[in-house]
Amino acid sequence: MYKCKNCEKEFEAFGALGGHSNLHGNHWSRGKTFDEVFGIEKSKKIKEKMRLKKIGCIPWIKGKRLSEETRKKLSLAHIGKSTWNKGLTKETDKRIEKASISQRGKVRSLETRQKLSASLKGHASWNKGLKGYGKFNLGKKRSEETRKKLSLAHIGKSTWNKGLTKENDERIKNSTEKMILTKKLYYQSETSKWKNPEFRKKHIAQATKNLQSRPSNLEIKKFMPFFTKHSIPLRYCGDGSLVIGWRNPDFVENNGKKLCVEVGNKLEKSIPRSGRSYSTWQEYENWRISHFSKYGWKCLCLWEDELLNEQNLLTKINNFMGENNVQ
């Protein structure tokens, strides 16, 4: 015989006791997981059986839309009620912690991101039109007193990630791996975009528009007169009239050879700036030569300080051109 703990009523079958316990709202398995009720091994088999049973089954509500009346009833029924996870954190609730661990380190694929992007097009963000949200401090300047208090409060304190590396901290490791994967996906996305003729045409036109201020003073006042003076067969194309692998050289050989020339100032190319893949003029020179060589072009970099010795500069250009056509 099985006895109910609440009302001490006896039952011959255990299943009958379980159904009766529901009346008291304290079923023996309430709040327990499959692993806690059946054990890890048995719960795995049960979960797999449930999964296989659902394969190919179409949810009864798929493709259906609730009527306005039903939606209104549901809305009224939920007024005053909060969500089950309100106020819970991964530190205070095992379910939140488990969900957090399952999503840690995951990065959505490019296909998934494109699907999400397409599904959200035309939908306004939930905070559109709300004033002050996220911008309560925008444009405000803290007083000297407040700034002094903040400064004193941080004296002696170090940042949370000081001394941590990807070898000794899981958060840094996950962040580094995620950053590498994100860069890889971004590169794949940009590469596929440039294969689209319409995208190429649009962005090349934009780049050409941005080059309307060309030629620069260095090109028009120093190198162009030098090339004309010595009858060097180079044609100016720095205005975007020629693009090689999405890069625009300054000058090209005028007789059909795949030779291009870049001109610049060593000091300007050595100034560190955001977005630059080089930090010295030597790195810039190697980068340009390497880029144009991928497309079958030979590149020569000429620098402003080389104009001080015209004979050496002429020899350098002559060796590059491969012909004695420099006078």
Mean pLDDT by runs of 10 across the 327 residues of the chain is: 73 67 64 80 89 88 89 92 88 88 86 90 78 64 89 89 87 86 85 85 73 74 90 87 87 90 89 79 92 93 92 91 55
pTM for this entry? 0.38
The string of DSSP codes covering 182-207 is: HHHHHHHHHHHHHTSHHHHHHHHHHH
Homologous superfamily (CATH) for 213-321 = VSR Endonuclease (3.40.960.10)
pLDDT score, position 208 = 67
Q: For residue 299, which amino acid is it?
A: C
Predicted local distance difference test score (pLDDT) of residue 259: 93
Residue 145 is predicted with a pLDDT of 92
C-alpha span between 212 and 286 (Å, rounded)? 27
Write down the pLDDT at residue 267. 86
> Do the Cβ atoms of 32 and 22 come closer than 8 Å?
no
What is the predicted pLDDT for the residue at 17? 67
Contact partners, residue 289, CB within 8 Å, separation at least 6: 299, 301
267 in Cβ contact with 284 (< 8 Å):
no
Task: Give the pLDDT score at 295.
Answer: 92
Residue 75 to residue 249: CA distance in whole angstroms? 64
* Burial status of residue 305 (CB atoms within 10 A of its CB: 0-12, 13-18, 19 or more): exposed
DSSP 110-140: HHHHHHHHHHHTTPPPTTTT-SSTT-TTTT-
In whole angstroms, what is the distance from residue 127 CA to residue 249 CA?
46
Measured between its terminal Cα atoms, the distance across the chain in Å is: 114
